[in-house]
């Protein structure tokens, strides 16, 4: 795989050029997620789901009928309001902690997939998105990777911590 492309478009371009694959990109993302686990940025990861979705993207690399600007790029969904097939939505709430995985994509998740993204997990959010800090009742608390004594804040704190890391 190429050395840590700077953004999703660069990674998608590398996949399209055959420099890497969607499967390799997912493996690198899972490794990075494990390295940054102490930040609490990620609520749920499903490596098997990501691999299941990456495999056909890898095999289809040079057979696309429609443009997909983020072709094969691994992606984390926010754990609020945008259900994605195969991922649970618990909204940071203890009440929903045992919720099953979603059995259909929301319109937003459909659009993400149509753009080529591969959702394989969810980011940490405060309970029901109602706090100014990303401290869900079920944990983990999202931490700012530049200063672990601080939260990245708000309902997108997990996403912010993941991007900053």
Q: Is the pLDDT of residue 56 over 70?
A: yes
Q: Is the pLDDT of residue 146 over 80?
A: yes
3 falls within a domain? no
Lowest mean pLDDT among 42-46, 79-83, 87-91: 79-83
- Range 103-112 average pLDDT: 96
Residue 1: inside a domain, yes or no? Answer: no
Mean pLDDT confidence for 115-128: 95
Q: Is residue 67 part of a domain?
A: yes
Q: Which domain holds residue 30?
A: 8-164
DSSP at 142: P
Choice between 66 and 25, residue whose per-residue pLDDT is larger:
25
Domain-located, residue 43? yes
Q: Considering the chain, what is the average pLDDT of its residues? A: 89
Mean pLDDT of 115-136: 93
Residue 32 lies in a domain: yes
The pLDDT of residue 17 is 85
**Is residue 1 predicted with pLDDT exceeding 50?**
no
pLDDT number for residue 67: 76
The pLDDT, as a whole number, for residue 6 is 64
**Residue 134 included in any domain:** yes
Any residues with CB less than 8 A from the CB of 132 and at least 6 apart, and which? 126, 153, 154
Residue 85 counted as domain residue: yes
Give the chain's domain count: 1
- Please tell me the predicted confidence (pLDDT) of residue 4: 54
Measure CA 112 to chain center.
11
Judge whether 2 lies within some domain: no
**Can you give the CATH number for the domain in which 115 is found?**
3.90.1300.10
Mean pLDDT of 154-164: 92
| Residue 87 and residue 44 in contact, taking contact as beta carbons nearer than 8 Å | yes
Q: How many CB atoms lie within 10 A of CB 108?
A: 14
């Amino acid at each position: 795989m190429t050395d840590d492309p700077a953004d999703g478009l660069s990674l998608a371009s590398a996949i399209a050029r055959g420099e890497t694959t969607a499967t390799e990109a997912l493996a690198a993302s899972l490794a990075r997620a494990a390295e940054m686990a102490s930040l609490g940025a990620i609520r749920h990861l499903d490596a098997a789901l990501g691999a299941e979705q990456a495999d056909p993207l890898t095999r289809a690399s040079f057979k696309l009928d429609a443009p997909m600007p983020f072709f094969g790029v691994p992606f984390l969904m926010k754990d609020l309001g945008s259900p994605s097939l195969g991922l649970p939505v618990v909204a940071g709430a203890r009440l929903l902690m045992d919720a099953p995985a979603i059995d259909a994509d929301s319109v937003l998740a459909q659009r993400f997939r149509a753009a080529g993204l591969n959702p394989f997990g969810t980011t940490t959010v405060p309970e029901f998105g109602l706090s100014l800090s990303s401290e869900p009742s079920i944990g983990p608390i999202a931490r700012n990777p530049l200063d672990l004594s601080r939260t990245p804040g708000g309902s997108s704190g997990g996403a912010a911590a993941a991007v900053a890391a």
